[in-house]
Amino acid sequence: MKVLALNSSPRGGGHSKTELMLNHLVDGMRDAGADVETIALRNKKIKDCRGCYTCWTRTPGQCVIKDDMTVDLLPKLLQSDLAVYATPLYFHSMNGIMRRFLERTLPTMHPFEEQNEYKTYHPMRYRLPKSVWLSVCGFPEESEFNILSTLLHYIYDREGLELVAEIFRPRAEFLVSRIATDTAEDILAATREAGHELIKSGHISGGTMARIKQPMLERSIFATITNLAWNTCITEGVTMPQFQERKMVARPDSIETFMLIMPLGFNTQAADNNRVLVQFHFSGEVSGSCYFTVKGDGVDAVFGTSVDPDLTIESPFEVWMDIMTGKTEGPQMLMEGKYKVDGDLALMIKLFEREKEPTAA
Ligand SMILES: Cc1cc2nc3c(=O)[nH]c(=O)nc-3n(C[C@H](O)[C@H](O)[C@H](O)COP(=O)(O)O)c2cc1C
């Protein structure tokens, strides 16, 4: 089966989450034996449709504009059995690049009008491949895609066009974060599975679709972390793609947000099969206490003071946040007496050892 996969994200350099999802879908399709060509539309010259209707009159089926759409993309689309339209969600719908692509498919239709029970449409001049639509968005609600989905159903509800699947993934920016990594991995594995199923059976099973759409974390937690990350970008003068690329840490601004972000910085393997209790007492701009129970399989965060902690860290809030976000070095600050530690220093070094890159929240 010949598949043409079109990605309309303007983001290059591996930052596009549309591309990330599409790559997994395409991998699954290839595993199932499909011959897939992927094209990033951002690299193609696609001019706006002029609305001249020359493709319906003087040059039937041929657009007068000579660009990548007429020379390369439309011929490839017409030779495919299946097309995957992958777009980031912009203002609740497909983005401008994808819309421009679609508008330029006007030569594939006749000018004449036909009608079904619900609507009037132009009959097809050429056979278009079956379609799969894939979209990702920033917000957590699945309902973000309602307008795009309604639009697609309206477009495809006619003779000569077939929509075989809609794959929508909310909160897609978190697919590359260290938050909920297991869930992110499962979403991507399910997307790959979906590609396999589409080629083998022509549709995506309910179970696979449910895995693609599964929630990642409670939505208000994401909102808090996202807001901290934007604030960090603004303060540090970096773009969000740079923040993600440099695996920067969202800087907490309160004990509550510290309790959300700090667990991602612990090397849980240092706890082996034990539980390690780490107590923080903060002073300065933000003062208060909280503690973490670090176990091999995760970290629990609790407000207040624990009984008998293994490690106690007393620090001005700003000093620890500078260490956490990599602005200053922890050992150096300790030597300079900027914060105090009570407990096993070797354990502390192990706990904060960064086996992987620091947290990208
Ligand atoms: C101009 C613009 C409009 C957007 N509109 C929405 C939107 O309506 N709903 C939403 O949840 N996310 C919206 N987003 C966020 C993107 O959908 C999200 O960042 C997505 O992951 C981008 O995909 P990409 O990485 O493939 O480019 C918008 C982003 C931009 C730049």
Q: Are residues 161 and 245 in the same domain?
A: no
- Phi (first) and psi of residue 359, to 5 degrees: -55, 130
Residue nearest to atom 31 of ligand 1 (CA): 90
72 three-state secondary structure:
helix
Q: Does ligand 1 come within 6 angstroms of the Cβ of 280?
A: no
Q: Is the pTM of this model over 0.75?
A: yes
Q: Are residues 182 and 237 in the same domain?
A: no
In a domain? residue 138: yes
Q: Are 284 and 317 in contact (CB under 8 A)?
A: yes
Q: Is residue 360 part of a domain?
A: no
Residue 357 lies in a domain: no
What is the pLDDT at residue 359? 40
Burial of residue 119 (number of CB atoms within 10 Å: 0-12, 13-18, 19+): exposed
pLDDT at 98 over 60: yes
Tell me: do 241 and 223 sit in the same domain: yes
CATH number at residue 285: 3.30.1050.10
**Same-domain check for residues 191 and 231:** no
pLDDT of residue 358: 39
- Which residue's alpha carbon is at the smallest distance from atom 1 of ligand 1? 90
The answer, yes or no, to whether any atom of ligand 1 lies below 6 A from the CB of 137, is yes
Ligand 1 centroid to 227 CA: how many Å?
15
Distance of CA 160 from the midpoint of ligand 1 (Å): 31
Q: Is 325 in the pocket of ligand 1 (CB under 6 A)?
A: no
Domain assignment present for 30:
yes
294 assigned to some structural domain: yes
Same domain, 201 and 236: no
Question: Residue of the nearest CA to atom 24 in ligand 1?
Answer: 16
Q: Is the CB of 144 under 6 A from ligand 1?
A: yes
Q: Does 260 have pLDDT greater than 50? A: yes
Q: Which of 169, 185, 213 is a domain's end point?
A: 213
Structure tokens at 270: 């240092």
Least trusted range by pLDDT, from 8-12, 100-104, 217-221? 217-221
Domain ends where: 178, 213, 248?
213
| Residue 22 vs residues 52, 95, 149, 190, 230: alpha-carbon distances, Å | 34, 16, 18, 12, 26
Looking at residue 90, what is its pLDDT?
98
First-to-last C-alpha distance (Å) of the chain: 40
- Residue 218's pLDDT is 83
Same domain, residue pair 99 and 154: yes
Pair 32, 162 in one domain = yes
**Ligand 1 pocket test, candidate residues 19, 95, 137, most atoms within 8 A of CB:** 137
Return the pLDDT at 354: 64
**Mean pLDDT, all residues of the chain:** 93
Q: What is the pLDDT of residues 41-61, one digit of tens each?
A: 999 999 999 999 999 999 999
Question: Considering only CA atoms, which residue is closest to atom 4 of ligand 1?
Answer: 90
Counting residues of the chain whose pLDDT is more than 70, the rounded percentage is 98
* C-alpha distances out from residue 301 to 57, 161, 232, 272, 277, Å: 69, 53, 22, 18, 10
Q: How many domains does the chain have?
A: 2
Please indicate, yes or no, if residue 361 is contained in any of the structural domains.
no
Residue 358: inside a domain, yes or no?
Answer: no
CATH number reported for the structural domain that contains residue 122 in this entry: 3.40.50.360
Q: Which tokens go with 333?
A: 């600050």
pLDDT at residue 105 tops 60: yes
How far away, in angstroms, is 89 Cα from ligand 1 center?
Answer: 5
Containing structural domain, residue 33: 2-213
pLDDT attached to residue 343: 94
**Ligand 1: distance of its center to the CA of 94 in Å?**
10
Write out pLDDT tens, residues 308-336.
999 999 999 999 999 988 889 999 999 99
**DSSP label at residue 251:** P
Cα–Cα dist 263/256, whole Å: 12
In a domain, 120, yes or no: yes
Q: Which of 213, 242, 265 is the last residue of a domain?
A: 213
Tens-digit pLDDT profile for residues 153-189: 999 999 999 999 999 999 999 999 877 888 999 999 9
- Number of other CB atoms surrounding residue 336 within 10 Å: 11
| Ligand 1 atom 29 nearest Cα | 90
- Whether 173 and 81 map to the same domain: the answer is yes
119 three-state secondary structure: coil
The reported pLDDT for the residue numbered 222 is 86
What is the number of residues in the chain? 361
Are 227 and 99 in a shared domain?
no
**How is residue 90 annotated by DSSP?**
B
> Are 322 and 290 contained in the same domain?
yes
276-283 sheet: strands from edge to edge: 298-303, 288-295, 276-283, 311-316, 340-343
Q: Does residue 11 line the site of ligand 1, with CB under 6 A?
A: yes
Taking 50 as the threshold, does the pLDDT of residue 255 lie above it? yes
Tell me: the pLDDT tens digits for 269-292? 888 778 999 999 999 989 999 999
- The answer to whether residues 18 and 79 belong to one domain is yes
Please identify, by atom number, the ligand 1 atom nearest to the C-alpha of residue 92: 8
pLDDT digits (tens, 9 = 90+) for 129-151: 999 999 999 999 999 999 999 99
Tokens of 80: 């495919």
Residues 223 and 319 grouped into a single domain: yes
Q: Whose CA is nearest to atom 2 of ligand 1?
A: 90
